[in-house]
Structure 1
Amino acid sequence: MTHEHYLQAWQESQELAEAMQPLIGRLYRQQGIEITVYGRPLQNASTIDILKAHRVVRRHEGQPLPIQHSFPLLRALCELAPSAAEIDLGKLAVGYWRDHVDEAGIADYLKAKLAPALGQGALPAPTDVVLYGFGRIGRLLARLLIERTGAANALRLRAIVVRGGREGDLEKRASLLRRDSVHGPFNGSIEVDSERSAIIANGTFIQVIYANSPADIDYTAYGIHDALIVDNTGVWRDEAGLSEHLKARGAAKVLLTAPGKGEMKNVVFGVNHEVIGPDDRIISAASCTTNAITPVLKVMQDKYGIVHGHVETVHSYTNDQNLIDNYHKGERRGRSAALNMVMTSTGAAKAVAKALPALKGKLTGNAIRVPTPNVSLAIINLSLEQSTDRESLNAYLQQASLSSSLHRQIDFSASTELVSSDMVGSRFAGIVDSQATIAEDDHCVLYVWYDNEFGYSCQVVRVMEKMAGVVRQDLPA
């Protein structure tokens, strides 16, 4: 091919990607349909991101998926008007063109593959959401909820609750939502309504409530009813403390974005989210590390059986640490986070057992905080009940990332050039770095990257949807 042919082929693909964007947006906002290509979400994706998602198919199928193959299926999918489902357009396209030579059979093929999502009737009314605390996780949750705004949105962000109320506070809160040093600028428009103490982001009116105690708030005064309160502060970690939220008028349920203490249900979506019942009022979404490692540990337990193991977390520093040396109640955490690797403890290894009881007492763990602002790495050292080798183990983990029930939690990389910043913005709970895998006989070491802010926030939203009663089909089966 000449360079003119390469350029022409690229431009044709780019035009199709541009034509896909409004179709993907319409399905998402009107029907509650999330379109992916081999696990890569396409809503709000740029044309280049859509094309890159199609190239990911090469990793699993040996060749990229031409966008000329997926576009006619997306167009036909819009005419069928399915609802409340996550649909992998890549898997549908690969499956269709494996057995067909033209577009004549697309409609019948889609009707068969998407039958569970067709004719479901009206979507449920959205659940009001309040973010109690507006720090790193709170602001990322706000971004995720705002990008989902539409007629089919199951979660409606209504308010944030913060301490303060000093002059200029509202503008500073809006500015922190608008600009982020790690995750970049907000994708859209943000305005401040000082008279009504509100932030308007992409048309979403977010009431800013100033309060020092959860029980002092009357959410109904702001038109908020039966709300799901997402506590991002970490101040209360047990049911007694979190129950204070339920004393507020208009509050119905509470989700903690930190490991819960006592008998509270700690949920890692994809692993044990089915434990959430309609009558559960207080739930924990566990920690970022627990969410990153538990899905991988589950697929390992399912196939190989785990005798015992150790998890070492190389974790980016957090706001809990000191920027320079100063007093801190925690051991070593008083030393400068920006200048040191800091040994500390982690409860993630023990917390795994709350979501995966089969591993109770089998794991130990430690953590090293390092001078990076985001993305962490879990090194999982396991003794197994069965022998394996590197090639077989990687093949199994790759398949798990593609077609298991945990495909939204586990990503898989075969790159030899992967570094931590490449994972910023990943929507997966964890990414298996296959090039670092060690396996011999009944022993293996796995390296799992994770965006401890954004990837974890995506998991939290999935738990929120479950608490709100959202049932989303995962198609094709």
Structure 2
Amino acid sequence: MSNIAIYGFGRIGRSMLKSALKRNLFTPVAIADIRDLETTAAVFQVDSNYGRWHEDVSTKEHSFLIGGRDIPYIDSAREVPDWGAMGIDLVVDCTGRATTRAGAQVHLDHGAKRVLISAASKTFQDCDAVLLPGINMDSFDPQAHKIVSMASCTTNALAAVVKVMLEQFGIQYGLFTTVHAYTNTQSLTDQPMRDRRDSWAAAENIIPSSSGAAKALKFIWPDLKITGKAYRVPVKTGSIVELNLITERPVTVQEVNAAFIQAASEGPLKGIMDVLKEEWASARIVGDQHSSIIDLPLTQVQEGHFVSVAAWYDNEWGYASRLAETAARLGSREK
């Protein structure tokens, strides 16, 4: 296993580390963030969404102590760490800000061999590859792909649905809507924000928002004709995306659901996609590590070609689980 560092220890960075440690995927060589060490350790230890970490968590000077693991902590408020001096092979940037090539390149300039971005890059030119587990990970080229994006939680949820529908039934065009938990980009109380709609309290409003998932999907399927939007709602985590599309050939509800059941049980989407055969609400999928959980009772078909599919996803834990796996996989190819 290569030397992996985490840059940005917010919601996704902390969840990714927990997923990596729980499944023994990797232990980072270093964690870098701009917050103070003691408070950062405290919010890792006790999480409002996922509860208390099962191991002892404490700090010493410049280090986290997590279940006996000593993980150096770097204050990156002033500058990006010297990754080269630490022998870092892979930096997982979880700040949400490395969406341009310049933002990601700084890690390479500071000595890292590769960067994995926990966000969608702005354009095709801002990364070397968009790699999604279960979708196109086999296209990873260690020599050419130095800046890798794993897109967004919604993109990962949608991509699994698109893959099945595209391969089994064909897609003419479609429209998706994601009903998404609120995030740190929103405000707790009413106040003017850059995005006008975000100016109202996140926990008190349904807030329309844009989604970059459609653009990110085109990194993988350039000819895909799908667009969509998002609604942020007052839940702390747990989201659902509905994809409405026109298929190339006529289908039935039974055929569509059978395709998802098969994809979830075998092949590249096993462990990434899951299905629900009973009626549930969002609490059912909080803490679920699957990227895309098909709600089979919600599948609908009209006139043979008009299909509606709904997929749940824990927008934090599911995405962070894939990120941890991808980091481990990219890291294993460094040596």
Tell me, in whole angstroms, the C-alpha distance in 2 between the residues paired with 1:214 and 1:365.
Answer: 37
* Alignment match, 2:118: 257
Task: Flag structure 1 segments of 5+ consecutive residues without an equivalent.
Answer: 1-125, 472-477
Match status 1:388 vs 2:251: yes
CA distance in 2, matches of 1:199, 1:271: 35
- Name the residue aligned to 2:10: 135
Which of 161, 165, 188 is equivalent to 2:32?
161
SS in 1 for 2:103: helix
Length-normalised TM-score, structure 2: 0.94
Of 138, 141, 147, which residue of structure 2 is paired with 1:277?
141
- For the Cα contact (< 8 Å) 2:100–2:122, is it kept in 1? yes
SS in structure 2 of the partner of residue 314 of structure 1: strand
Counterpart residue type for residue 13 of structure 2: G
Show the 5 A alignment for 1:155-304: 155-164=26-35, 169-194=36-61, 197-215=62-80, 217-219=81-83, 224-249=86-111, 251-262=112-123, 263=125, 264=127, 265-279=129-143, 280-304=145-169
For 1:407, what is the secondary structure of its paired residue? coil
Deviation per CA, 1:269-298: give whole Å up to 9, x if none.
111112221122111110000001101111
The amino acid across from 1:128 in the alignment is N
In the alignment, the residues of structure 2 paired with residue 391 and residue 464 of structure 1 have an alpha-carbon distance, to the nearest angstrom, of 37
**Distance in 2 between the 1:144 and 1:434 partners?**
27
More displaced, 155-164 or 253-262? 155-164
Kindly report the root-mean-square deviation, in angstroms, between the aligned alpha carbons of the 2 structures. 1.6
Pair 1:419-2:281 in alignment? yes
Retained in 1: the 8 A contact 2:179–2:232? Answer: yes
Q: What amino acid sits opposite 2:222 in the alignment?
A: P
Q: Judging changes above 3 Å, is the alpha-carbon distance between structure 1 residues 462 and 350 closer, same or farther for their aligned structure 2 residues?
A: same
- State the alpha-carbon separation in 2 of the partners of residues 219 and 287 from structure 1: 25
1:144 to 5, 10, 19: 19
Structure 2: distance between partners of 1:383 and 1:214:
49
Distance in 2 between residues matched to 1:183 and 1:464, nearest whole Å: 22
Q: Distance in 2 between matches of 1:382 and 1:392?
A: 15
How far off is 1:399 after superposition? 1.1
Tell me how far 1:214 sits from its aligned partner: 4.7
Moved more, 131-140 or 457-466: 457-466
Tell me, what secondary structure is at the counterpart of 1:127? coil
Question: What is the CA–CA distance in structure 1 between the aligned matches of 2:308 and 2:274, rounded to whole Å?
Answer: 17
Is residue 2:182 matched to residue 1:317?
Answer: yes
- Rate the CA distance shift 1:400–1:277 in 2: closer, same or farther, 3 A: same
Change (3 A) 1:213 1:227: farther
Question: Structure 1 CA distance, aligned partners of 2:156 and 2:45?
Answer: 27
Letter matched to residue 328 of structure 1: M
Alpha-carbon deviation of 1:267?
Answer: 1.7
Q: Indicate conservation of the 8 Å contact 1:218/1:248, yes or no.
A: yes
The whole-number CA distance in structure 1 between the counterparts of 2:186 and 2:214 is 21
Counterpart-to-counterpart distance in 1, 2:210 and 2:235: 18
How far residue 148 of structure 1 moved from its aligned partner, in angstroms, is 3.6
Sequence identity of aligned pairs in percent?
A: 33
Distance 1:377 1:331 in 2: 24
Q: TM-score, normalised by structure 1?
A: 0.67
Structure possessing the higher relative contact order (Cα contacts under 8 Å, 6 or more residues apart)? 2
1:25 aligned partner? none
Report how far residue 212 of structure 1 moved: 2.8
After superposition, give the CA deviation of every residue in 1:176-211 in whole Å (9 maximum; x if it has no partner).
1100010111121212113xx111112221111012
* Structure 2, unaligned runs of 5 or more: none
Q: 1: distance between equivalents of 2:102 and 2:251?
A: 46
* Corresponding residue SS for 1:141: helix
- Give secondary structure in 2 for the equivalent of 1:333: helix
Q: Which amino acid aligns with 1:452?
A: N
SS in 2 for 1:229: strand
Helix, strand or coil at the partner of 2:28: strand
**Aligned 8 A contact 2:2 2:332 in 1:** no
> Which protein is richer in helix relative to its size?
1
Choose 1 or 2 for highest CA Rg.
1
Amino acid at match of 1:192: T
For the residues of structure 1 that align with 2:64 and 2:177, how far apart are their CA atoms?
40
Matched, 1:469 2:332: yes
Instruction: State yes or no: 1:329 paired with 2:190.
Output: no
CA deviation vs aligned residue, 1:367-417 (integer Å, no higher than 9, x gap): 11000010101010010011111122111211111113211221011012x
For 1:348, the equivalent position in structure 2 comes to 213
